[in-house]
Amino acid sequence: MTAGPGPLLAVHAHPDDETLATGALLATWAAAGAPVTVVTCTRGERGEVIPPALAHLEGDGSALAAHRERELAAALAALGVADHAFLDALPGPDGAAPARYEDSGMVWLAPGRAGPAPDAGPGAFAAVPVDEAAARLATLLRARRPAVVVTDEPGGGYGHPDHVQGHRVAARALALAADPEAGLAGAPYRVPVVLWSAVDADQAAAAERALPAAPPGLRRAGVDRVPPSAAVPGAQVDLRVDAAAVLDRVAAALRAHATQVQAVATWDADGGPAVGHLALSDGVLRPILRHEAYRLVGGALDDVRWPVGVGR
Ligand SMILES: [Zn+2]
């Protein structure tokens, strides 16, 4: 008998990031019958709200948080993910007070590149001591013992301070989980393979050209758009996930995040670089790429078993 893939654990800053950045990987892993855990660091309570009918949620942090928790639950169900935790709900290090990690907010520095908001609150996730948040995640890593962990790259994908902090916390948690001297519950555990979520810049450029004219109320990206920090040349992509094979699940999960994602469409790409499109609150039409891309930053690809649809 051949063993299936081991457990996968993904760390994300906000509800919707699991789907936007890693939806195909999560759906493919779950469809293979292997365990998948998603950890979300905040509830995205400072997000902009797209549907006019839900505009009252914008700026009402607790109401938007509650709404986005429900959106996240629906998205995870669509992806087939059964195990989810909010980072602040996990047990903290000895003596830690109960925590509530809040969305730090962001401002656009340039189209496609974000920076810290000037008015992040005292509970902002970006200001939480890294070791405190990392201890919570490390304890979960020891309990779940994933074969693969996936998280943002150091630039936070596109610069959002919560994504940057999520990267720092995940990196520290991986070290703490493996450290016998860390003073945490559970047996020490070294995660065999660590992935950073990436964007294949070559495929993204081709997909951008393949987009249709923007529907009314939306627009195509301008020439001033800055590539996300997650973008790398195609030759530097270590692992690809076939998004076309799980497109229905990913599209359903995208639609579940209705406060954050609009204009979701999929098409028979016939081998092309894009398999659909969507837009976020900025109204810019974005391709759904044929392949999710990942960089390998810990371990070797041969160290673990991959589901069908995930490979070089
Ligand atoms: Zn996010």
The confidence score (pLDDT) of residue 20 equals 98
The confidence score (pLDDT) of residue 1 equals 46
Distance 246 CA to ligand 1 centre (A): 22
Q: What is the DSSP string of 24-72?
A: HHHHHHHHTT--EEEEES---TT-----GGGGGGTT-HHHHHHHHHHHH
Query: What six digits make up the tokens of 63?
Result: 């109401």
Phi then psi for residue 168, to 5 deg, are -60, -45
* Angle 137-15-204 from CA coordinates, rounded to 5°: 105
Distance 13 CA to ligand 1 centre (A): 5
Distance 15 CA to ligand 1 centre (A): 7
Task: Please give the torsion angle defined by the CA atoms of residues 81, 228, 305 and 274, in that order, rounded to the nearest 10 degrees.
Answer: 80
User: So what's the architecture of 8-298 in CATH?
Assistant: 3-Layer(aba) Sandwich (3.40)
Distance 27 CA to ligand 1 centre (A): 19
Phi then psi for residue 270, to 5 deg, are 55, 40
Distance 38 CA to ligand 1 centre (A): 14
**Tens-level pLDDT at each residue, the chain (312 residues):** 457 899 999 999 999 999 999 999 999 999 999 999 999 999 999 999 999 999 999 999 999 999 999 999 999 999 999 999 999 999 988 878 889 999 999 988 887 789 889 888 888 999 999 999 999 999 999 999 999 999 999 999 999 999 999 999 999 999 999 999 999 999 999 999 999 999 999 999 999 999 999 999 999 987 777 888 999 999 999 999 999 999 999 999 999 999 999 999 998 767 899 999 999 998 999 999 999 999 999 999 999 999 999 998
Distance 14 CA to ligand 1 centre (A): 5
Tell me the per-residue pLDDT of 255-297, one tens digit each, with 9 for 90 and over.
999 999 999 999 876 789 999 999 999 899 999 999 999 999 9
Q: pTM for the complete prediction? A: 0.97
Tell me the per-residue pLDDT of 48-72, one tens digit each, with 9 for 90 and over.
999 999 999 999 999 999 999 999 9
Distance 126 CA to ligand 1 centre (A): 12
Distance 304 CA to ligand 1 centre (A): 28
Distance 170 CA to ligand 1 centre (A): 15
Distance 60 CA to ligand 1 centre (A): 18
Distance 185 CA to ligand 1 centre (A): 29
Distance 241 CA to ligand 1 centre (A): 21
